[in-house]
Amino acid sequence: MADDSFAPLRSFDAFSPRGLLGKREYVEDLEKRGDPEAAALLVACLADESGYLRDLAESALVRLAAAPRPIVPLLASGLWYTKVSAARTLGRLGARATMAAAALAALLDDTNQSVRRAGIDALGLIARGGGELAVARALHARHDPDRARLREVAAGDRTLEARLDELLKNREAMEATEDELLSHDAAVVRASADGVEWGVLTGPRSSSGVR
């Protein structure tokens, strides 16, 4: 007999106490399991029409430090609330979600203001969590010469705004391939703050072992 104990809760009334309790128990059970199947079901909850279930799933995924990659496709959903939930979850995952920066930046052109705001907030959280290089590169790819999006992402944080602006001016870091960045992401961010040139980081090691 098939185990349907983790089937989506479509039969619950979102406005009944029993329905709310059932959704909470469903998410709590999935979080306790914590296996890949459970994580996939939590991601699926981000597309549910119940805002309560989506909120529970968002928090559970963050507590589990879930892999961000399965969440990214939801940013292209036709449902505005799914885009918002996915963006919020990715933002709360912080620097773990740097690979989602470009997809989140695409939300800045969304006609739905809730989606657009969620994208901006998520990029800001990722940048503050240590993913500022990925965020700067995502903004650079948008070719936004007046830096308006940079200011929105920084949200009044002058230090972050200056940091992103500094990175955006680093042409080599902005135009490097993903392969070049793969093993140098954190190093580039740290070194840029100290004025170290990109070539120092990507060039061959010296005999002393220092790049």
Residue 38 lies in a domain: yes
Band of pLDDT at residue 66, cut at 50, 70 and 90: very high
Separation in Å, CA 51 to CA 9, 47, 66, 81, 152: 13, 9, 20, 8, 26
Residue 1 lies in a domain: yes
Residue 50 lies in a domain: yes
Residues 200-204: what's their mean pLDDT? Answer: 36
Q: What are the φ and ψ backbone dihedral angles of 15, each rounded to 5 degrees?
A: -105, 0
142-191 confidence digits (pLDDT tens)? 877 667 888 999 999 999 999 999 999 998 889 888 777 664 544 554 44
Report the CATH number that the domain containing residue 6 is assigned in CATH. 1.25.10
Residue 12 lies in a domain: yes
Name the more confident of 178 and 55. 55
Band of pLDDT at residue 108, cut at 50, 70 and 90: very high
> How many domains, in total, are found in the chain?
1
Residue 13 is given by DSSP the state -
What pLDDT is recorded for position 158? 93
What pLDDT is recorded for position 208? 39
- Residues 61 and 71: beta-carbon distance below 8 Å: yes
Residue 143 lies in a domain: no
- Residues 196 and 206: beta-carbon distance below 8 Å: no
Domain that holds residue 44: 1-66
What pLDDT is recorded for position 210? 37
Residue 164 lies in a domain: no
- Residues 23 and 12: beta-carbon distance below 8 Å: yes
Helical pair 51-63 and 36-45, crossing angle rounded to 10 deg: 140
Average pLDDT over the chain, rounded to an integer: 82
Residue 141 lies in a domain: no
Band of pLDDT at residue 198, cut at 50, 70 and 90: very low
Of 183, 92, 100, residue with least CA distance to 134: 100
Band of pLDDT at residue 18, cut at 50, 70 and 90: low
Separation in Å, CA 65 to CA 68, 89, 105, 192: 9, 10, 22, 28
Band of pLDDT at residue 50, cut at 50, 70 and 90: very high
Name the more confident of 18 and 82. 82
Residue 60 lies in a domain: yes
